Amino acid sequence: MEKYKVVVCDHIHEAGLKMLQADEQIDYVFAADIDKTALLDVIADADVAITRSSTDVDEKFIAAAKNMKAIVRAGVGVDNVDIDGCSKEGIIVMNVPTANTIAAVELTMAHMLSCMRMFPYSHDHLKNQRIWKREKWYGYELKGKKLGIIGFGNIGSRVGVRCKAFEMDVIAYDPYINASKATNLGVSYTTNFEDILKCDIITIHTPKNQETIGMIGAEEIAKMKDGVVLINCARGGLYDEQALYDGLTSGKIRFAGIDVFNKEPATDHPLLDLDNVTVSPHLGANTFESQYNIGTEAAQQAIEAAKGIAFPHALNLPIDETKIPSFVKPFLQMGQKIGFLASQINKAPIVSIKVSGQGDIAEYLESLATFVTVGAIAETTGDTINYVNADFIAQERGIKVETEECPSSSAYKNLITVKLTTEKNVVTISATMFNDEVQRIVDINGFDLDVAPKGSMIIFRNTDVPGVIGQVGTILASHNVNIADFRLGRNNKGEALAVIIVDSPVKEATLKELGALEACIGVDYARI
Amino acid at 298: A
Rg (C-alpha) for the chain, rounded Å, is 26
CB proximity list for 339: less than 8 A, separation 6 or greater: 353, 371, 372, 373, 374, 375, 376, 418, 420
Task: Report which DSSP code applies to 57.
Answer: B
**DSSP class per residue in 227-252:** TEEEEE-S-TTSB-HHHHHHHHHHTS
Q: Give the integer Cα–Cα distance in Å for 472 and 510.
A: 10
Buried b (16+ CB within 10 A) or exposed e, 266-303: beebebeebebbbbbebbbbebeebbbbbbbbbbbbbb
- Which of 73, 158, 235, 254 is catalytic? The answer is 235
- Which of 282, 397, 440, 479 is catalytic? The answer is 282
Catalytic, 235? Answer yes
CB proximity list for 411: less than 8 A, separation 6 or greater: none
Do strands 350-358 and 400-405 pair parallel, antiparallel, or not at all (unpaired)?
parallel
Which sign, positive or negative, has the C-alpha torsion 181, 255, 207, 48? negative
Contact between 415 and 430 (Cβ < 8 Å): yes
- Which of 59, 219, 264, 508 is catalytic? The answer is 264
Q: Give the integer Cα–Cα distance in Å for 198 and 34.
A: 53
Q: How many residues are present in the chain?
A: 528
Tell me, rounded to whole angstroms, the distance of Cα 344 from its chain centroid. Answer: 13
Catalytic, 282? Answer yes
Q: Which of 184, 179, 164, 166 is nearest to 113 (CA)?
A: 166
Q: Give the integer Cα–Cα distance in Å for 417 and 432.
A: 9
Torsion from C-alpha of 38, 40, 45, 49, nearest 10 degrees:
110
Amino acid at 91: I
Contact between 525 and 479 (Cβ < 8 Å): no
Catalytic, 264? Answer yes
Q: Which of 369, 371, 376, 387 is nearest to 349 (CA)?
A: 376
* Catalytic residue list: 235, 264, 282
